[in-house]
Amino acid sequence: MKYAIPAFSCLLSVGLCLYSVVAQAQPVSKTPPAIVRSSCYMCHSTHGNDPDLAFIPRLAAQNQVYIEEQLKAFRDGSRADPPATIYMWPIAQGLSEKQIKQAAEWFATQAPAEPFPPGSSASEGRAIFLNGVLKADVPACASCHGPQADGNGIFPRLAGQNAQYLLAQLRYFRSGVRNDKNADIMKQVALHLSDSQMNAVANYLSSL
Ligand code: HEC
Ligand code: HEC
């Protein structure tokens, strides 16, 4: 670990450890579960890959464990950023464990969406993603989210995600309003990022 803060080395080793042990073998179902057909599709689209609404995250190929964790965080109210409280809280309240699992499994096994065209700051974003910002004690995003940004387990896939959504989430981690049980790891990262660095890295990620 070549990062400056000892707390980070610790977080990172936990992260990398989890990163390496969580396996990803899932059966692929062709029929969306009832909960996706009756609810999720309205905003996320049936396959989780609709690019039209920038503040709604793409769920296609997102990690199953991460999706389940977030649905529980919406349900218990710990993920409390404004769009979460408005859109996802009412839906998550009514979800059973079985529906959470079924929806998560469905979206996790869908093909990733088409990436977005890279914005002008994407090359700065790439450097942050791969190397971090040493002077500001920002670790490389790739060390937890994976070199292709496809994540694993509790570490979300970021590749091909809407830039506007990613940028908003980085701000919510920084302000502490997104406060679910794994959010503190990201708060430590986001606290040291400037708005323009957040924008650059979000632009880069949406183009992967
Ligand atoms: C009324 C629109 C709407 C519906 C219906 C909806 N969502 Fe969402 N969902 C959103 C929005 C908006 C967000 C972004 C919340 C935020 O910014 O914190 C979101 C976020 C999420 C996230 C977090 C993704 C991430 O990358 O962290 C998951 C998982 C999710 N929704 C799953 C579902 C599932 C499963 C269903 C169906 C049971 C569903 N959603 C139904 C609007 C909706
Ligand atoms: C030490 C490990 C670690 C590092 C380093 C890290 N992340 Fe994360 N990141 C996480 C975890 C864990 C989560 C899930 C947090 C949660 O569940 O609330 C996350 C979530 C996110 C999300 C929310 C995605 C979504 O779908 O809502 C974004 C955006 C993000 N990270 C971007 C970054 C960027 C950009 C960097 C580099 C500047 C970075 N991360 C570095 C561990 C890390």
User: How far is residue 42's CA from residue 87's CA, in Å, rounded to a whole number?
Assistant: 11
Query: Which three-class secondary structure state does DSSP give residue 105?
Result: helix
**Both structure tokens of 16:** 């990398």
pLDDT of residue 50: 85
The per-residue pLDDT for range 180-194, each reduced to its tens digit, is: 999 999 999 999 999
User: How far is residue 138's CA from residue 4's CA, in Å, rounded to a whole number?
Assistant: 9
Q: Which of 74, 81, 173, 189 to mutate to test the pocket of ligand 2 (most atoms within 8 A of CB)?
A: 189
- Cβ atoms of 119 and 34 within 8 Å: the answer is no
Q: Which residue has the tokens 């070199």?
A: 147
Long-range contacts formed by 36-42: CB under 8 A, 24+ apart: 36/102, 36/103, 36/106, 36/107, 39/91, 40/91, 40/103, 40/107
pLDDT of residue 7: 42
The per-residue pLDDT for range 127-185, each reduced to its tens digit, is: 999 999 999 999 999 999 999 999 999 999 999 999 999 999 999 999 999 999 999 99
**Both structure tokens of 62:** 């997102």
Q: Is 67 close to ligand 1, i.e. is its CB under 6 Å away?
A: yes
Q: Is 15 close to ligand 2, i.e. is its CB under 6 Å away?
A: yes
Residue whose Cα lies nearest atom 14 of ligand 1: it is: 56
pLDDT of residue 52: 77
Q: Is 17 close to ligand 1, i.e. is its CB under 6 Å away?
A: no
Equal CATH topology for 34-108 and 118-206:
yes
The per-residue pLDDT for range 61-118, each reduced to its tens digit, is: 999 999 999 999 999 999 999 999 999 999 999 999 999 999 999 999 999 999 999 9
Q: Is 183 close to ligand 2, i.e. is its CB under 6 Å away?
A: yes
Q: Is 154 close to ligand 2, i.e. is its CB under 6 Å away?
A: yes
**Beta-carbon contacts of residue 62 (< 8 Å; ≥ 6 apart):** 48, 107, 108, 151, 156, 157
Query: Which three-class secondary structure state does DSSP give residue 79?
Result: strand
Q: Is 68 close to ligand 2, i.e. is its CB under 6 Å away?
A: no
Q: Is 43 close to ligand 1, i.e. is its CB under 6 Å away?
A: yes
Residue whose Cα lies nearest atom 40 of ligand 1: it is: 40
- Cβ atoms of 177 and 80 within 8 Å: the answer is yes
Residue whose Cα lies nearest atom 33 of ligand 1: it is: 40
* CATH for 118-206, options being 1.20.1050.10, 1.10.150.120, 1.10.760.10, 1.10.287.130: 1.10.760.10
Of 24 and 97, more confident: 97
Which letter does DSSP use for residue 112 in this model?
A: P
Residue whose Cα lies nearest atom 6 of ligand 2: it is: 141
pLDDT of residue 161: 96
* Domain spans in the chain, listed from the N-terminal domain onward: 34-108, 118-206
Residue whose Cα lies nearest atom 29 of ligand 1: it is: 67
Q: Is 108 close to ligand 1, i.e. is its CB under 6 Å away?
A: no
**Both structure tokens of 14:** 């936990």
Q: Is 159 close to ligand 2, i.e. is its CB under 6 Å away?
A: no
Of 21 and 37, more confident: 37
pLDDT of residue 27: 55
Class of domain 34-108: mainly alpha
Which letter does DSSP use for residue 136 in this model?
A: G
User: How far is residue 113's CA from residue 110's CA, in Å, rounded to a whole number?
Assistant: 9
pLDDT of residue 167: 97
Share of the chain above pLDDT 90, in %: 82
In which band, very low, low, confident or very high, does the pLDDT at 5 lie, cut at 50, 70 and 90? very low
pLDDT of residue 28: 66
User: How far is residue 201's CA from residue 194's CA, in Å, rounded to a whole number?
Assistant: 11
